[in-house]
Each structure stands twice: as structure tokens, then as C-alpha cells.
Amino acid sequence: MKQRILSIDLLRGLVIVLMAIDHVRDFWGPFAHQPEDLSQASPELFLTRWITHFCAPVFVFLAGTSAWLYGNQLAIKMDAKAGPTQIDKRTLSRFLLTRGLWLILLELLIVNPSWSHGYTYAFVQVIWALGWSMIFLAGLIWLPRAALLVLALAVVCGHNLLDRYTPADFGSAGTLYAFLHNQLWVPLSPQGYGVFIAYPLIPWPALMALGYLLGQLYTDTSLDAKKLLWRLGLGCIVAFAVLRGLLGYGDASAYADQPESSVGLILGFLNTTKYPPSLQFLLMTIGPALCLLAWLRRYDRVAGSATEPGWLARRILVYGGVPMFFYLLHTPIISLGALVWTKLSYGVAVNFPNTQTPNWPAGYEPSLLRVYLVWAVLLLLLYPLCLAYGRFKRRAASPLWKLL
């Protein structure tokens, strides 16, 4: 059985747990204004939203790292005596393509109705972007590593040059542009069915490619992974601070436009653009994640020694070992639970993400305390399920279980 890298599972478990806070807020505690609107949102609401910003970029980035590790494991199986000198790109590419298509189907057939309670429209989010990124990575891995690095950095660092354009600038090709770099509602039928592109693709595949290249730190024993992770992470943080505070490149929202109070200035510094993720947004999130990954390196069995995970870390590892299983279960549980709660509390079952603010039930008041309490209950409910599925997945012989 493959030896799992605990630092990666811990970071992945942490971000998947944090992600659930944001989704609980959508169903159990929405506000009439956006959490990023510093003219109305409290610092507590803003920070509740902000901590979840780490989830999507870290999840996509680590998916790339896992792809490298999976390819390396294939190489070990193919040539146990000679050692993992070459990634089996053909098998890895086939796996990425299959998994990518599978994730897109899961987004459309399972994740969407968890939010909309039907198939009246499609709302493509992070699993959609993750699936397409894997499909692109299936082809990108054939590039030489240096060429892949240059291309990925060029896309991540340069895609904000496209911010000046809108779908209207491209005429009939506007929908394609939105698919790549702009949120857009795309009607598909006179009956009102359509697709809302919540996660444009650029620069997600490039971010996954960078995570793929980072995987070499975990398989090349000549590299000091911990030191390089610290340097890369701190370098991203410094680059974010310079771009945000001095140069102004890499984000459509100007820091200078934020409220002039001391709290507003601090929070405004962190108020970067997620849709699509700006360069500043990615530096702000990936930088600390790399530093945390370096710190968590203590749990990896390097040269036969490692710090044993404590009580909390062992529980986070349970979620980190089956992140897709957690993702597919958590939204239906949150959504159906919210329907029961609103029916009992207000006499009508309300799906808040699909309900306009004026139509919220009389007497409803948003509450962050309620959000965090429901989040804690959700984690308690999902823990035994994730634990059982993780054990089953490790014993399962069929490679099909790798898709979930």
C-alpha cells in the first residue's frame, strides 16, 4: 500500500474543513450584503469569508502535487529495481483525463442539485474548474519541465492583463472568453435553462501545473523540501505585499479604494479578487499555504523519523484522506438541514442561495454564531462517515475508488 504524505493530507484536510464554513454560511446565515463589502460587512463576517479563500487555490494546487506523486508511484511499480527515474506519463495522462471528466459530471449531476434542488440551471464551481484543470494537465505533463514552468508562471502572473476586456469585446466569441476569464450567465434554452460560469478556467490549470512541478520536492531526495517550501512561501508573501501595497499590478480591485479607517485599511489589504483568482489572490493564499506545508513537513517520514500527529491532527487527517467524499456529502447535508430548520422556524422551507433577499422569511436574522455551531455539528456528523470510507478505500482493490 502506498505510504501517504501526512503534510499534504493535513493541509488538504484543513482547507476542506474551512471550506465548509462558507457553504454553511450560504444556507444557514446569509447576509443581505456581501462579506467582502467593507462598507457594510463586519470584520467578523469579512474574516469568516476570508479564511475560506485559501480552500480553492490550495485544493487545486495540491491536486497537481498529488498527480506528480501518483505518477511517481506508477514508476515505482513499473521498475521497482531501477527506481522511480521516469514518470509514466501515458498512464498518468489517461488517469487525469478520466478523473477530470468524472469531476465535471459530478459537478453537473450531483453538486449542482445540492445547491439548486433541481436541474433548472447549472452553476459551475470549483469541482468544474478542478476537472477541467486535470484535463489540461493531462496534456501539459508532456511538456519538458522547464517549458511547463515557464508557461504556468506566465499564465498565473500575466492573466490579469485580460482584466480590461469583457465578453462583449469578443462578439460571438464572448461566451468562450467568459468560460476562460469572466463570470457570466449563459442562457441555453428559451425556458430559462442556462449555465452560470462561477469559476472561469484561467488560471486554475496553470496553478495545478505549478503544484504538479512542486511534487518533485517529495520524490527527489537531493532536494531539501522543507527549506525550499519555506523560501517559496515567504517569497509569495513578500511578492503579494509589494504588488498590493506598492505596484498595484495583479488585481482588478485597487487597495486605495478601501475604507480609510484603520480596520478598513487592514482588511482592505486582504480584500483581493477571487473570480477569477487574481495574481495577488493566489500569492496571498498559496504563500501561507506553502509555509504551513513546510511546517507540517515534521509529520512526514523522512529518513525514518517523524513527529507523531496529535489528537487534532489525526482527526484532520481523516478528512484530508477523503476530501472528495467529504465535498460530495457536505452540501446535501447542509442544504437539507437548512430546509428542515427554516420550515420549523419560519413555517416555510427556504433554500437561501436560490431565494432573493426580499423573499426571505419574516423574522429571519443572520447569525455568525449559528453558522459556526452548525459547522461544528456538520464536522461531527461527517467524521465517522469519512473515517469508515477512508478505511474502505485503503482496502479496496478496484482502481475505480481512486476517482472518489
- Cα torsion 180, 162, 154, 62 to 10°: value is -40
User: Which pLDDT score is estimated for 393?
Assistant: 86
- Cα torsion 296, 301, 306, 311 to 10°: value is 60
Cα atoms in the Cβ-side hemisphere of radius 13 Å centred on 115: 19
Cell 469568516 belongs to residue? 48
Q: State which H helix or E strand residue 116 sits in.
A: helix 112-116
| Phi and psi angles of residue 305, each rounded to the nearest 5 degrees, phi first | -130, 150
The Cα 197–Cα 111 span in angstroms is 14
Q: Is the dihedral of CA 67, 394, 309, 76 positive or negative?
A: negative
Residue (of 249, 227, 272) closest to 50 by Cα position: 272
User: Which pLDDT score is estimated for 321?
Assistant: 93
Whether 272 contacts 225, CB under 8 Å: no
pTM, rounded to two decimals: 0.93
- Give residue limits of the domains in the chain: 6-403
| Phi and psi angles of residue 156, each rounded to the nearest 5 degrees, phi first | -65, -45
User: Which pLDDT score is estimated for 402?
Assistant: 64
The Cα 71–Cα 58 span in angstroms is 20
Q: In the chain, what percentage of residues exceed pLDDT 70?
A: 91
Contacts of 121 (CB under 8 A, 6+ apart): 192, 193, 194, 195, 196
Q: In what order do the strands lie in the sheet with 184-187?
A: 122-124, 194-197, 184-187
Whether 317 contacts 16, CB under 8 Å: no
Cell of 306: 517523524
pLDDT in tens, the chain (404 residues): 456 789 999 999 999 999 999 999 999 999 999 999 888 899 999 999 999 999 999 999 999 999 999 888 776 665 554 444 466 888 999 999 999 999 999 999 999 888 888 888 888 899 999 999 999 999 999 999 999 999 999 999 999 999 999 898 998 898 899 999 998 888 888 777 888 999 999 999 999 999 999 998 898 888 889 999 999 999 999 999 999 988 889 997 777 666 667 787 889 899 999 999 999 999 999 999 999 999 999 998 764 567 888 999 999 999 999 999 999 999 999 999 999 999 999 999 999 998 888 899 999 999 999 999 999 999 999 999 999 999 998 887 666 666 66
The Cα 48–Cα 50 span in angstroms is 6
Task: Give 305's strand partners.
Answer: 302
User: Which pLDDT score is estimated for 399?
Assistant: 65
Burial class (CB in 10 A: 0-12, 13-18, 19+), 144: exposed
Whether 269 contacts 244, CB under 8 Å: yes
